[in-house]
Structure 1
């Protein structure tokens, strides 16, 4: 990637990054980086002589790449990586990872996180990228991976076009230019973002900006030819009907019930049916109070184009809702679906309802409120929708407390036409959950004793010792084969053997090496299964002990122990635990111990 920068832009860079440059380009910093790099290289170089590197080829592409989209395409990056690996005898390509449409200003990318997981599991120990900008563009975060995280994990990093290889003897000198490239990458993204925002704001001011199809208000469709919205023949009558119902005094819930009874798709379901979104949660979505309220308050339906309701002030910050006075409102920007008089009438109705609510008297509170405790855990056993918590208020002037209950969200929001109520009081759920966890506490004493007896048994110790010896034997054979392959190249250069002999022997040794690598991975996998099974059981015991030490249930403990609480139509309740059957886990652990020695 080539960036043309004028003198004035360089001045801007120095102003924007003054603190960064002072910190990262001072003599002290250079010396610190050099010391770190030398220390890390000693570790990596000591391993590099007698090991095969298992590489992950990482590619990334996003809109911030601008005019370089073709040059930086995922396919092109993979092609460059494979071409680089063609003559590398010490590197085996284990997997490829690619994130398309992901910004380099953060590392919350699906395939990048998968790659880090493979590094932690030992599947790969080398990361290859086309250049450092593909790894990331955020200066501080990318520096953290290059200078601290990868070296601490003994991961070799190769940036092909930057000429950087963390295991190379001259890595110190090439590493000195890397921070400068990272600063330039960081500046490049922020500069592109600033220019794009400026262009979008200019289009917003002139009324020429059209959002994506997924952001077009319900009742409209895009009209890119005339750079505006136009009425959607299918949904625009529904919008007008909602306003008329509200003007006639219908409640938001009443409007939802009527629309759901008639099977009219809500905005989310309509986007799903039209292919605008693939999110399964919208497949059977229903009209809800919030959707109707939003429509009846939106001035877009009287022809106003509104921009800037939710924006981010900088590329690396989260989007935030803006105050109304900061919105950009362009009047008469598109055809109105609702007459101005009807819109104003509905706003008066909404205002009256708000005023009524302000004068409502406060009812008695519930004696116990477990809504925070069970938040996100209670599901309908039949339709598997998350159950909604409700408050049944005591009558005014009565001294009895209010009650907290749960019922099926599908039943509530479908106008009582889908599923059934599944009504249950919070006290019933609390009693069942508490009893189920107490039963687990009783079991935990036996499980802990069983784990210790299995782990300390002579059979288990003997199995692990044999497995370790077999694994070491396989590793030693693998290293001998690798040395022989290196010796073949020396023999060829010294003309002890000819090219045909070299190719024949190399193919033979490579086949043996592949088999040994497979056996080595299988042995490690068997050991890992035992360790994972043991870790799961120990984690369950840890959480149970933590629960015993607490005077009452907490949301944190509940989420660690329980996957979900299922309420049936008969009001019976079943608990799905995160740690299923502890005795089954012990049986699997015993089976793993018996099989761990069979690694040869």
Structure 2
């Protein structure tokens, strides 16, 4: 043994992700074992201690490990001591490269205590065993990684939330951290954000309004709840609402009760870089938690955000028709213009192609005339929808249109009669046994048969009732758009929300004539077609 003095670094690592045994492999226990070993080696002086707590061993891009390598390069350390090879690393290729090439080249002595490995006096058998031990550690890490990934995949498919923090507007259930519950305060902020967007406010205006009202942004709100949040995007001492943070909320489907997870991930257990996944690989679970925003409002907001909508600098909201007016000839947007002449104010819309002097004919319409025309057309359309609903109710009440419901009820009645009949047979079995008409074996055989038939019929009834309920539910969902129109009975003015809810597009023709493309037009046509056929049959 050489009399050389070694300046050693004690290195310890612990990661819950790779399934390490917390009790035996705790940082404290690792260091205690190493110090006990070094107490019997006076030639080794401890000059440094490095700890990577919470870092996986599948790669060597760990802060404390890199600090140790810097000390080795500077000459401060020439000996590394670890509890065992698995604490050093679980990637057999990189671990082997350090042990067999890097450390010998740099003159570093390497000691793995529990593996009885010391590079200073290793023999030929050690040279063969060490790579195999590193390979086993690597395989162990891969196995644990596969199990963890599989378990997380199962939880996602069950609709269990597996994120570190709940999305703004929700909290993790105290009794079940994989379940989301509505946050009373934050959910109201979310509802306000969607409401303001539907009313015509931009993301920037919404962010300014929230900041002016002193509402904490999502990150600051988490901190106020005692959550430990770290971010690299903080610019000011206190984070503020921004158009980006508002957009994240407006485009997050989670507020409709839909949980979408698995949007990103790492390629394998060795590569820790998170990469986005194709949308077909996302795991989407409906009704996994309580909704804050109804599907109708969420979809409307997505439509608004896809349109080319601008807000005048001095205005807080967009104009009601912004993004909805099109020239009937060239298909380009209509531009709003405002001017004052002879102490009178005039506001009109003109084709953007014509305004830019790039062709097209003169398409203009005064704002007041447009407002009145759309208002009258909307009143008429709402009245048409209400009349349509009344006709639909009348037709659905006719016996020939209730056949499906009757079929369900008839099946249930028949099955209930079968249950009563088998129950009666079952009761008579004992009498037949006592009178000697059947033997004991036959008694138990028939009893089991009747019980099975009763259970089968009861299961069939439950299935039919469930199917009946689903059919009724689908019919209600299919006609839900009618309620959207009915909400605008007795209107007196055109609002931004009305335009978003009811109108797809407004085309402006030369001479001021307008054509409105209503939302849910296809659904309207299907129902009117069905009513026409029913009336012809009658």
Change (3 A) 1:359 1:80: farther
Superposed, 1:84-103 pairs within 5 Å as 84-103=37-56
Does 2:85 align with 1:135?
Answer: no
* Cα deviation digits, residues 143-185 of structure 1 (max 9, x gap): 11111111111100001011111111x4433122010011111
Structure 2: where are the runs of 5+ without partners?
Answer: 310-321, 325-330, 334-354, 357-538
Per-residue CA deviations over 1:332-387 (Å, capped at 9, x if unaligned) read 11111112221122111112238979989xxxxxxxxxxxxxxxxxxxxxxxxxxx
Q: Hey, what does 1:194 align to over in structure 2?
A: 146
Map of 2:469 onto structure 1: none
Are 1:345 and 2:296 counterparts?
Answer: no
Bigger helix share? 1
In the TM superposition, what are the counterparts of 1:517-532 in structure 2 within 5 Å?
none
Cα distance 1:190–1:224, how it changes in 2: closer, same or farther (>3 A)? farther
Number of corresponding residues: 313
- Show the counterpart of 2:255: 301
* Paired residues of 1:165 and 1:171 also in contact (CA < 8 A): no
Rounded to whole Å, the distance in 1 between the matches of 2:198 and 2:281 is 29
- 2: distance between equivalents of 1:275 and 1:336? 25
1:65–1:72 Cα contact (<8 Å) kept? no
| Distance in 1, Cα, partners of 2:332 & 2:132 | 63
2:270 is aligned to 316
Distance 1:167 1:67, change over 3 A: closer
1:174 aligns with 2:126: yes
Give the match's secondary structure for 2:171.
Answer: strand
Q: Deviations over 1:567-592 (max 9, x none)?
A: xxxxxxxxxxxxxxxxxxxxxxxxxx
State the distance in 1 between where 2:244 and 2:222 align: 17
Q: CA deviation at 1:67?
A: 5.7
RMSD between aligned alpha carbons?
A: 2.5
Determine the C-alpha separation between the residues in 1 that align with 2:170 and 2:82.
44
TM-score by length of 1: 0.50
What is the TM-score normalised by the length of structure 2? 0.55
CA deviations on 1:67-106 (whole Å, 9 max, x unpaired) are 6221111011101101101111211111211111000011
Counterparts of 1:359 and 1:119, CA distance in 2 = 68
Q: Distance in 2 between matches of 1:270 and 1:306?
A: 23
Structure 1, residues 544-570: CA drift from partner, whole Å, max 9, x if none?
Answer: xxxxxxxxxxxxxxxxxxxxxxxxxxx
Runs of at least 5 residues in structure 1 that lack an aligned partner in the other structure: 1-47, 361-395, 398-600
Aligned-partner Cα distance in 2 for 1:142–1:311: 25
Please tell me whether the aligned partners of residues 200 and 209 of structure 1 are also in contact (alpha carbons under 8 angstroms).
no
Name the counterpart of 2:173.
223
Alignment of structure 1 residues 91-490 onto 2, 5 Å: 91-168=44-121, 170-212=122-164, 214=165, 216-226=166-176, 227-279=178-230, 282=234, 284-317=238-271, 318-353=273-308
CA contact (8 A) 2:217 2:239 kept: yes
